Homo-oligomer: A and B are copies of this chain.
Amino acid sequence: MRRYIIGVDVGGTSVKFGKFNLEGVLLEKWNIRTDRSENGENILSNIAESIKLMVDLKEIKGIGIGVPGPVKDNIVVHCVNLNWGRKDLVQELSFLLQDKDIMIRAGNDANVAAAGEMYKGAARGYNTVVMYTLGTGIGGGIVLNGEMMEGVNGAGAELGHTIVDFRHNFPCNCGKKGCLETVASATGIVNLAKEKLIRSKLRSPLRRFETFSAKKVIDYAKEGDYISKQTIEEAMRYLALAMANISLTLDPEIILIGGGVSHAGPYLIDLIEKYFYQMTNPFIKQANIQIASLGNDAGIYGCAYLIQ
């Protein structure tokens, strides 16, 4: 009996697996290393082998896969992080598993994470969700009426690369400047803090370090350090701007923040809300901006959602 769903969240350094029952209860999870050698040719076969080792294929209803790149109609358009070009995941994985009765679905990892939060996390009960995953970069996920926003080129919901800043000109990995990611991700927070340290002569505990993390800036901000506070406030103002513009575009039911930076919790939400209302539609009286709840498991939950 096909009573399990497998969620596979493929990242640049590791692949996360989750085994779920048909109700979406996570029964077991495990990881393997992402082998990016030989143009990432081994990744899918390693995934297939790992699934076979852990679960009897005859018991699998479907496999959902999240990929860190644009995906359109279950086909990966390209994926720099995995050294993949265009890839038909359904066909290739089906061939590797030699079981045509296993349903295979794929989506962009950040969209899938948003779907996961909707399925079993902080956005449960909603069906129109926007999610910002604030890590080294910013992943953007959009689910509209239960469907992930793929866009015509698979490039929908690239929210980290919407342009919000014309002041700092920090370079983004994408080649542009002014992207949300350059001013509101962990990298962005460090960018802003370093600039403030150079431009001001104020004391700050940050001056003790040659390099420091966004977490350090947030911790010092909470302790009252002026430069750290100004940094986090500015980063959250940019995020609030992005969210206000999203609410004027999609008017979603809920906006989530996830990723490492979001662990700072209500402190960030308060700052975001302070600016959000100044910039959104005046008749939106109550934003529903929340912290995501599934952490690193959002991806595998979303992969399981793809098989519903």
Contacts and interface: CB of A to CB of B under 8 A. Distances in A.
A281 B248 contact: no
Contact of A282 (B150, B176, B241): B176
Nearest to A69: B283
A281 B158 contact: yes
A62 B136 CA distance: 53
A249 B251 CA distance: 13
A153 B128 CA distance: 12
Contacts of A247: 151, 155
A70 interface: yes
Interface residues of A, number: 46
Contacts of A246: 249
A244 interface: yes
Contacts of A157: 249
Interface string A142-168: 101101011111111111011100110
Contacts of A142: 249
22 contacts: A140-B249, A145-B147, A149-B249, A149-B250, A151-B250, A151-B251, A152-B252, A154-B251, A155-B251, A156-B249, A157-B249, A158-B249, A162-B248, A162-B249, A163-B245, A166-B166, A176-B278, A176-B282, A178-B279, A246-B249, A249-B249, A249-B250
